Structure 1
Amino acid sequence: MSSETCAVCGGQFPFDSTVHLLVHTNSEEGAFDYYVCRSCYEEELAPLVA
């Protein structure tokens, strides 16, 4: 099974226990495409979009 590196904490996690984070910016930078572990998502990112 493949693993992904969490963009927040840097840990290695199985693909099926990560959240795919795709943020489209309104700038020349375009889109940010990351994977984050569920723990970091729930603690750090979910409150931002709630």
Structure 2
Amino acid sequence: MAVEACGMCSREVPFDETVHVLVHTHGESGVIDRYVCRTCYESELEPLFE
């Protein structure tokens, strides 16, 4: 089973338990492309888009 390190908490989780996050910053950072664990997504990112 493939694992991925969460882009927020660095915990290694099974790939199928991650969320792919793309953020276009319109700045020098350009596009931020990360996989985050579902826990971080649900607690930190999902509320921003409700």
TM-score above 0.5: yes
Q: Does 1:32 align with 2:26?
A: no
Percent identity between the two aligned chains: 56
After superposition, residues 1-50 of structure 1 pair within 5 angstroms as 1-50=1-50
Moved >4 Å (runs of 4+):
none
The whole-number CA distance in structure 1 between the counterparts of 2:2 and 2:44 is 24
CA RMSD of aligned residues (A): 0.9
